[in-house]
C-alpha cells in the first residue's frame, strides 16, 4: 500500500468519526463572507457558552456553502444525530443554540435550516431541500462549507486526489481526450474548449511548459473563485496536477488577487500539505511526473484577467495585453507554451477524471455541458453563490433559487463590467455561452447582479464604463479614448445636461470601441451601454428629454423633502445632516432647506433605519 | 533607518535578479513601509538593474501600490457592482466628508487613509467597508459612524 493510500484510509476513518462523534462537533462557516457577517464573534460566543455549560466539543472551521445571506452559519453534530445546520447565528442565538441543542437536547425552538443526514430526521427537512439549494447541482462546490479547508485529510476522505491518481494511470493524451470528450469549456468567461487548449500546448514541442491558474477575480460583483479557494483549496490543486500532467508542465503559477488574503493563506497551507505527502515535487507518487506550484499575488489590475496581460504581469511588467496569435498555448510565459485556466475550470477537472466524461455530459445541454457557478447578488432576496447546470433559464435562477426581488424586478446584469443587462422579457433565456452572447451580454466569470426598480440603468452603465475606463491599460486608442468619451457622455445624461442627439452619438461610439479594440476588455466594454440602450431606451430618453430619472438615483435629477405628517421630530436626520440643511426642534416636524441640501442620502438612510423615525424623508423627481 | 534598510537588503537577496521579481519586491516594500518610498524604489532599481522610471512605470500601473504614507488605520470602501447598487458610493462620500479626506489620501492627522476598492468579494453582504483587516457588512450611514468611532 502506498503512502497516499494509508493516509486516505486514516482520513476516511477520521471523517467518519467526525460525523458520528463521541463528543459534539461544531462546524463554523468561516470564509470571508462568514467573517464579514460576524463569524469571529459567534465563535467566541460559542466557546463561552460551551465553557459555561461545561460541555466538551470540537470546533471546526469550514468554508461557505454558498447561502451567504444566511451567514453566519453553524452546524452541530451530536448524540448520534445527523449534522444540523443553523443560519443567521449571532452571538445571542449562538448561546441559545448551544444551550438548547447540547444541554437541553431540545431542537423544537432552535429553527434549524436543515439536517445533512441520510434519512429523514425529526420533522427537520434535509438541508438540500432548502429553496436556495434544492435546484442546484453541486459538483465543483461539492465540499464547500462542509469540509475543513485547512485539512487535507477532509479532502482525501471525500475522494480527494483520486482523480489525479486515475490520471496518472493514463497517458497524457488520454487525459486530454477525457476532458475534450466531457466538453468542458473555460469558466473564466470566454468559454474556449479546455481540452483543445491543453492539446495545443501538449503538441507544442518545448523544453519547458507552464501552467497558470487565473485566480485574478477582478469582476466587481463576483466571488466564485474566492469562495472555492477559501472553502476547498485542494480541489484547485488537484485540477492543476491533472492539467500539468496532461500538458507536460513542470511549473505552475497561481495568479491570485492580493485582495483575497484568506484565500492566499488557504492555498499556502494546502501547498505545504501536498508537498509534505509527496503529491507535489519530484517524481510524484513514483511516476516520472514532477511538478511544483508558486503563488503570485496580483497587484490590482482588472485587465490582468486577460491571458496575455496576466503573463506580462507574472513576468514583472505592466499588465498590458498583446495581439494573438501566437496563442499562449504555443508561446506564453517567458515565450514558452503556457496553459492558462480559470479556478473553476481546474476545480471541475478532478470530478471529470473521477467519474468519467460521460457522467459529466449528463449535466447541461449540447455544446454547454456541465455546471457553472454564479454569484447571485444585488437586489435579490437570497444572495450567495450557486451552481447550476448550464442551460438553466435565468428565471429559474433568479426566482426559484434566488427568491426574486423585494421591489419589482427590472433586469439582471451578467458577466461583470463586460456584460450586459437582460430585461424581464428575456428571462426565459437558458444560460449558455451562446444564448447570452446572442442577447448582447456574456457569460463572463459568473456574476449575476439582480436589479430592481430602484436601480437606474443609465447610472449603472456609467458605473461600469467608469470602471472600465479606469482599468483600461491605455495601449490601444479605441479603449483608452473611446471609453473616456462614453463616460463623459453618460455623465452629461445623468446630470441632465445632454442634448437629444447624444444617444445616437453614444451608440455609434460604443460600436466603434466594440469593433476596434485590441483585447477583450475593450471589445466588451460597450456591452453595458449597448444592452441598456437596446432594452431600456425609454429610460435614457426620459433622462435626456425630461430630465427625469425614474429610479430616482441620479442625484442632479432628484430632490429630498420631508413629509410633515410622517415626521416624528426625532432629530436623527438633523444630527447626521452634514450641511445643516435640516432644522427643527425636537418632537416637531423638521424643515429641509433645499438650497443647502447636497443630496448625500444620510438623512434618508437614518430615517428608514432608525426605529423612532417615521420614514418621513422622501426622494422625488422634483417634478411632482 | 539603517536597520530598516538592511532588513530590506535581506528581502532583496531572497529574490532572483530578474524582471519577474519586481512586483513581489514592490509588494514587500509596501508591506514594510505601508507605501512605496523613493528610497525603496532606488534600492529595487539598483538590485534588479533597472532604471527607477521603469520601476515607477510598473508600480504606477497597479492599483495596489501607493506612493504616500498611509494613515494609522486604512479604510477601504468597496465599490463593486453589488455595493454600488446598494449604496457604496454614499458611504465613500460620507467618509470623505466626515473625515475630510479624499480617496487615495490620508487625513491631516494621519489617523485614517481612505481608498476605494473594486471588490472585496463579499457581494452577498453589500455594501461592505473594510477597516484594516476587519470587514463590515450591510453598512449604512448610521452604522458607519459607529464603526469609525471605534477607531478614533
The C-alpha cell of A366 is what? 449540447
| Residue of B22, B101, B123, B131 to mutate for A, most A C-beta atoms under 10 A | B123
pLDDT at B1 over 50: no
> In this complex, is the C-beta atom of A5 within 8 Å of any C-beta atom belonging to chain B?
no
Chain B residues in contact with A219 (beta carbon < 8 A): 119
Nearest to A299 among B62, B81, B133 (CB): B62
> In this complex, is the C-beta atom of A344 within 8 Å of any C-beta atom belonging to chain B?
no
Mean per-residue pLDDT, B88-116:
92
User: Concatenated DSSP letters for A276-296?
Assistant: HTTSSBSSGGGSS--BEEEEE
Statement to judge: residues A314 and A435 lie in one domain: no
> In this complex, is the C-beta atom of B82 within 8 Å of any C-beta atom belonging to chain A?
yes
State the sign of the Cα–Cα–Cα–Cα dihedral A603, A605, A611, A616: positive
Measure the CA–CA gap between A111 and A437, rounded to whole angstroms: 43
Chain B residues in contact with A471 (beta carbon < 8 A): 118
pLDDT at A207 over 70: yes
CB B27: neighbour CB atoms within 10 A?
Answer: 19
For residue B141, the model assigns a pLDDT of 83
The C-alpha cell of B73 is what? 488605520
The C-alpha cell of A248 is what? 507536460
Chain B residues in contact with A314 (beta carbon < 8 A): 20
CATH class of B2-59: mainly alpha
Beta strands in B43-138 (DSSP E): 73-78, 112-117, 129-131, 134-136
Give the model confidence (pLDDT) of A457-514 as tens digits: 999 999 999 999 999 999 999 999 999 999 999 999 999 999 989 999 999 999 999 9
Measure the CA–CA gap between A144 and A141, rounded to whole angstroms: 5
Using omega within 30 degrees of 0 as the cis cutoff, is the peptide bond preceding B127 cis? yes
A140 domain-assigned: no
For residue A458, the model assigns a pLDDT of 96
Q: Cα distance from B62 to chain A (closest Cα, Å)?
A: 5
Give me chain A's average pLDDT, please: 94
Chain A residues in contact with B101 (beta carbon < 8 A): none
Pair A440, B65: CB distance under 8 Å: no
What's the CATH number where A73 sits?
A: 3.40.30.10
Statement to judge: residues A247 and A343 lie in one domain: yes
A137 domain-assigned: no
> In this complex, is the C-beta atom of A215 within 8 Å of any C-beta atom belonging to chain B?
no
CB A22: neighbour CB atoms within 10 A?
Answer: 9
- ipTM of model: 0.90
For residue A119, the model assigns a pLDDT of 85
**Confidence category of residue B6, pLDDT binned at 50, 70, 90:** low
Domain residue extents for chain B: 2-59, 73-149
Q: How many residues does chain B have?
A: 152
Chain B residues in contact with A377 (beta carbon < 8 A): 81-82, 123-124, 126
**Cβ within 8 Å, pair B86-A378:** yes
Give the residue among A618, A221, A621 at the shortest CA–CA distance from A456. Answer: A621
| Count of CA atoms in the C-beta half-sphere (13 A) of B52 | 8
| Residue of A229, A254, A262, A299 to mutate for B, most B C-beta atoms under 10 A | A299
DSSP state of B124: G
Phi and psi at A379, nearest 5°, equal: -90, 55
| Count of CA atoms in the C-beta half-sphere (13 A) of A288 | 5
A469 domain-assigned: yes
Statement to judge: residues A403 and A294 lie in one domain: no
Cα dihedral value B16, B17, B19, B23, nearest 10: 60
**Cβ within 8 Å, pair B122-A314:** no
Nearest to A316 among B20, B86, B117 (CB): B20
Give me chain B's average pLDDT, please: 90
**Cβ within 8 Å, pair B63-A299:** yes
The C-alpha cell of A352 is what? 471529470
Nearest to B90 among A299, A601, A610 (CB): A601
A351 domain-assigned: yes
| Burial letters A102-132, b for 16+ CB under 10 A, else e | beeeebeebebbbbbbeeebeebebbeebeb
> In this complex, is the C-beta atom of A445 within 8 Å of any C-beta atom belonging to chain B?
no
**Cβ within 8 Å, pair A377-B22:** no
**Cβ within 8 Å, pair A223-B23:** no
Residue ending a domain, among A452, A477, A512, is A452
> In this complex, is the C-beta atom of B1 within 8 Å of any C-beta atom belonging to chain A?
no
Statement to judge: residues A266 and A168 lie in one domain: yes
**Confidence category of residue A424, pLDDT binned at 50, 70, 90:** very high
Give Rg (Cα) of chain A: 27
Return the residue of B nearest to A573 by Cα. B142
Picking from A183-187, A262-266, A332-336, A496-500, which range would have the lowest pLDDT averaged per residue? Answer: A496-500
For residue B7, the model assigns a pLDDT of 82
**Cβ within 8 Å, pair A460-B85:** yes
Give the residue among A470, A456, A471, A612 at the shortest CA–CA distance from A536. Answer: A456
The C-alpha cell of A518 is what? 485590441
Statement to judge: residues A191 and A314 lie in one domain: yes
Chain A residues in contact with B85 (beta carbon < 8 A): 378-379, 449, 451, 455, 460
Residue ending a domain, among A337, A360, A383, is A360
Measure the CA–CA gap between A155 and A8, rounded to whole angstroms: 9
Q: Is A160 strand, coil or helix?
A: coil
Statement to judge: residues A275 and A410 lie in one domain: no
Compute CA distances A29 → A34, A83, A113, A401, whole Å: 6, 14, 14, 21
A552 domain-assigned: no
Q: What is the extent of the structural domain holding A591?
A: 558-620
**Cβ within 8 Å, pair B23-A299:** yes
A135 domain-assigned: no
**Confidence category of residue B5, pLDDT binned at 50, 70, 90:** low
Give Rg (Cα) of chain B: 18
Q: Cα distance from B37 to chain A (closest Cα, Å)?
A: 17
Residue ending a domain, among A546, A568, A585, is A546
DSSP state of A209: -
Statement to judge: residues A500 and A599 lie in one domain: no
Statement to judge: residues A123 and A171 lie in one domain: no
Give the model confidence (pLDDT) of A193-202 as tens digits: 999 999 999 9
Do the bridges between strand A292-298 and strand A251-257 make them parallel or antiparallel, or are there none, so unpaired? parallel
**Confidence category of residue B143, pLDDT binned at 50, 70, 90:** confident
The CATH architecture to which B73-149 belongs is 3-Layer(aba) Sandwich (3.40)
Selected residue with higher pLDDT from A605 and A565:
A565
What's the CATH number where A421 sits?
A: 3.10.20.600
Q: Cα distance from B136 to chain A (closest Cα, Å)?
A: 5
For residue A562, the model assigns a pLDDT of 93
**Confidence category of residue A259, pLDDT binned at 50, 70, 90:** confident
Mean per-residue pLDDT, A146-154:
97
Picking from A100-104, A298-302, A365-369, which range would have the lowest pLDDT averaged per residue? Answer: A298-302
Nearest to A301 among B61, B128, B136 (CB): B61
DSSP state of A125: P
| Residue of B14, B21, B30, B61 to mutate for A, most A C-beta atoms under 10 A | B61
> In this complex, is the C-beta atom of A464 within 8 Å of any C-beta atom belonging to chain B?
yes
Nearest to A297 among B22, B27, B93 (CB): B27
For residue A118, the model assigns a pLDDT of 87
Q: Cα distance from A22 to chain B (closest Cα, Å)?
A: 35
Statement to judge: residues A347 and A470 lie in one domain: no
Q: How far is CA A251 from the centre of its chain?
A: 27
Give the model confidence (pLDDT) of A552-577 as tens digits: 999 999 999 999 999 999 998 998 88
Chain B residues in contact with A415 (beta carbon < 8 A): none
The C-alpha cell of A163 is what? 482523480
Statement to judge: residues A293 and A434 lie in one domain: no
Give the model confidence (pLDDT) of A30-51 as tens digits: 999 899 899 999 999 999 999 9
> In this complex, is the C-beta atom of A37 within 8 Å of any C-beta atom belonging to chain B?
yes
Phi and psi at A447, nearest 5°, equal: -80, 130
Pair A284, A243: CB distance under 8 Å: no
Percent of all residues in chain A with a pLDDT value above 70, rounded to a whole number: 99
pLDDT at A222 over 80: yes
Do the bridges between strand B112-117 and strand B73-78 make them parallel or antiparallel, or are there none, so unpaired? parallel
Return the residue of B nearest to A413 by Cα. B81
Nearest to B65 among A36, A219, A299 (CB): A299
pLDDT at A155 over 90: yes
Measure the CA–CA gap between A289 and A244, rounded to whole angstroms: 9
Nearest to B120 among A259, A301, A605 (CB): A259
Statement to judge: residues A177 and A60 lie in one domain: no
Give the model confidence (pLDDT) of A327-341 as tens digits: 999 999 999 999 999
Which residues between 50 and 79 in chain B have a beta carbon less than 8 angstroms from any beta carbon of chain A?
Answer: 57-58, 61-65, 79
A144 domain-assigned: no
A136 domain-assigned: no
Statement to judge: residues A28 and A63 lie in one domain: yes
**Cβ within 8 Å, pair B124-A385:** yes
Compute CA distances A288 → A244, A279, A281, A336, whole Å: 13, 12, 11, 21
| Residue of A336, A605, A611 to mutate for B, most B C-beta atoms under 10 A | A605
> In this complex, is the C-beta atom of A448 within 8 Å of any C-beta atom belonging to chain B?
no
**Confidence category of residue B4, pLDDT binned at 50, 70, 90:** low
For residue A623, the model assigns a pLDDT of 61
**Cβ within 8 Å, pair B27-A302:** no
Angle at A151 between CA A149 and CA A152, to 5 degrees: 105
Size of interface A-B (CB pairs under 8 A): 169
> In this complex, is the C-beta atom of A216 within 8 Å of any C-beta atom belonging to chain B?
no
Q: Cα distance from B55 to chain A (closest Cα, Å)?
A: 9
The separation between the first and the last C-alpha atoms of chain A, rounded to the nearest angstrom, is 80
**Cβ within 8 Å, pair B64-A300:** yes
What's the CATH number where A487 sits?
A: 1.20.1440.230
Return the residue of B nearest to A258 by Cα. B64
Return the residue of B nearest to A223 by Cα. B121
Measure the CA–CA gap between A189 and A415, rounded to whole angstroms: 8
Nearest to A33 among B79, B117, B124 (CB): B124
Question: How many structural domains comprise chain A?
Answer: 5
Amino acid at each position: 500500500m502506498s503512502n497516499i493510500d494509508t493516509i486516505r484510509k486514516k482520513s476516511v476513518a477520521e471523517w467518519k468519526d467526525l460525523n458520528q462523534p463521541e463528543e459534539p462537533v461544531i462546524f463554523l462557516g468561516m470564509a470571508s463572507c462568514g467573517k464579514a457577517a460576524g463569524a469571529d464573534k459567534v465563535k467566541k460566543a460559542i466557546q463561552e457558552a460551551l465553557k459555561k455549560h461545561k460541555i466538551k466539543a470540537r470546533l471546526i472551521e469550514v468554508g461557505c456553502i454558498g447561502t451567504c445571506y444566511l451567514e453566519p452559519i453553524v452546524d452541530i453534530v451530536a448524540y448520534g444525530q445527523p449534522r444540523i445546520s443553523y443560519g443567521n447565528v449571532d452571538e445571542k442565538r449562538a448561546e441559545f443554540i448551544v444551550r438548547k441543542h447540547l444541554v437541553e437536547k431540545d431542537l423544537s425552538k432552535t429553527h434549524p435550516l436543515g439536517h445533512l443526514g441520510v434519512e429523514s430526521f425529526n420533522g427537520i427537512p434535509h438541508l438540500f431541500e432548502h429553496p436556495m439549494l434544492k435546484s442546484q447541482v453541486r459538483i465543483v462546490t461539492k465540499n464547500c462549507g462542509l469540509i475543513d479547508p485547512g485539512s487535507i485529510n477532509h479532502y482525501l476522505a471525500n475522494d480527494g486526489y483520486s482523480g489525479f491518481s486515475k490520471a496518472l494511470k493514463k497517458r497524457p493524451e488520454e487525459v486530454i481526450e477525457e476532458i475534450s470528450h466531457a466538453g468542458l469549456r473555460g469558466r473564466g468567461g470566454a468559454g474556449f474548449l479546455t481540452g483543445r487548449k491543453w492539446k495545443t500546448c501538449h503538441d507544442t514541442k518545448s523544453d519547458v511548459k507552464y501552467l497558470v491558474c487565473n485566480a485574478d477575480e477582478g469582476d466587481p460583483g463576483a466571488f466564485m473563485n474566492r469562495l472555492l479557494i477559501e472553502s476547498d483549496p485542494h480541489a484547485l490543486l488537484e485540477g492543476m496536477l491533472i492539467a500539468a500532467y496532461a500538458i507536460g508542465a513542470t511549473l505552475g503559477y497561481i495568479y491570485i488577487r492580493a485582495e483575497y488574503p484568506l484565500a492566499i493563506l488557504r492555498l499556502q497551507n494546502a501547498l505545504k500539505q501536498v508537498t509534505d505527502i509527496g503529491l507535489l515535487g519530484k517524481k510524484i507518487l513514483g511516476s516520472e511526473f514532477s511538478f511544483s506550484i508558486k503563488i503570485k499575488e496580483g497587484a490590482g489590475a482588472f485587465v490582468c484577467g486577460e491571458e496575455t496581460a496576466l503573463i506580462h504581469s507574472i513576468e514583472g511588467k505592466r499588465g498590458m495585453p498583446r495581439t494573438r496569435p501566437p496563442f499562449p498555448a504555443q508561446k506564453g510565459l517567458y515565450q514558452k507554451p503556457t496553459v492558462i485556466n480559470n479556478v473553476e475550470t481546474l476545480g471541475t477537472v478532478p470530478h471529470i477524471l473521477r467519474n468519467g466524461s460521460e457522467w459529466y455530459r449528463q449535466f447541461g445541454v449540447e455544446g454547454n455541458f456541465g455546471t457553472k457557478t454564479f454569484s447571485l447578488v444585488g437586489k435579490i432576496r437570497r444572495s450567495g453563490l450557486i451552481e447550476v447546470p448550464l442551460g438553466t433559464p435565468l428565471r429559474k435562477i433568479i426566482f426559484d433559487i434566488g427568491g426574486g426581488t423585494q421591489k419589482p424586478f427590472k433586469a439582471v446584469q451578467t458577466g461583470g463590467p463586460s456584460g450586459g443587462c437582460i430585461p424581464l422579457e428575456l428571462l426565459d433565456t437558458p444560460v449558455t455561452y451562446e444564448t447570452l452572447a446572442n442577447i448582447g451580454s456574456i457569460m463572463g466569470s459568473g456574476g449575476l447582479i439582480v436589479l430592481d426598480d430602484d436601480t437606474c440603468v443609465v447610472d449603472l452603465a456609467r458605473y461600469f464604463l467608469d470602471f472600465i475606463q479606469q482599468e483600461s491599460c491605455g495601449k490601444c486608442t479605441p479603449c483608452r479614448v473611446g471609453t473616456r468619451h462614453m463616460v463623459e457622455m453618460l455623465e452629461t445624461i445623468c446630470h441632465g445636461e445632454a442634448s437629444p442627439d447624444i444617444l445616437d452619438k453614444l451608440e455609434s461610439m460604443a460600436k466603434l470601441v466594440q469593433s476596434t479594440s485590441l483585447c477583450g476588455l475593450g471589445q466588451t466594454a460597450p456591452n453595458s451601454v449597448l444592452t441598456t440602450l437596446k432594452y431600456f431606451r425609454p429610460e435614457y430618453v426620459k433622462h435626456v428629454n425630461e430630465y427625469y430619472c425614474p429610479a430616482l438615483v441620479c442625484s442632479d435629477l432628484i430632490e429630498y423633502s420631508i413629509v410633515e405628517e410622517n415626521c416624528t421630530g426625532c432629530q436623527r436626520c438633523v444630527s447626521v445632516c452634514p450641511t445643516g440643511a435640516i432644522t427643527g426642534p425636537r418632537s416637531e416636524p423638521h424643515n429641509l432647506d433645499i438650497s443647502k441640501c447636497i443630496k448625500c442620502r444620510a438623512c434618508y438612510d437614518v430615517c428608514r433605519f432608525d426605529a423612532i423615525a417615521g420614514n418621513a424623508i422622501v426622494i422625488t423627481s422634483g417634478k411632482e | 533607518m539603517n536597520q530598516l534598510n538592511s532588513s530590506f537588503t535581506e528581502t532583496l537577496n531572497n529574490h532572483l535578479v530578474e524582471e519577474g521579481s519586481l512586483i513581489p519586491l514592490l509588494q514587500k516594500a509596501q508591506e514594510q513601509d505601508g507605501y512605496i518610498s523613493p528610497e525603496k524604489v532606488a534600492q529595487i532599481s539598483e538590485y534588479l538593474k533597472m532604471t527607477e522610471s521603469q520601476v515607477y512605470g510598473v508600480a504606477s500601473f497597479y492599483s495596489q501600490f501607493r506612493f504616500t504614507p498611509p494613515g494609522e488605520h486604512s479604510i477601504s470602501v468597496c465599490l463593486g457592482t453589488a455595493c454600488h447598487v446598494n449604496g457604496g458610493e454614499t458611504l465613500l462620500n460620507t467618509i470623505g466628508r466626515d473625515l475630510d479626506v479624499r480617496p487615495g489620501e490620508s487625513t491631516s492627522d494621519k489617523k485614517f487613509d481612505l481608498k476605494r476598492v473594486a471588490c472585496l468579494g463579499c457581494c452577498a453582504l453589500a455594501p461592505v467597508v473594510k477597516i484594516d483587516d476587519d470587514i463590515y457588512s450591510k453598512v449604512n450611514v448610521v452604522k458607519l459612524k459607529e464603526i469609525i468611532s471605534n477607531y478614533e
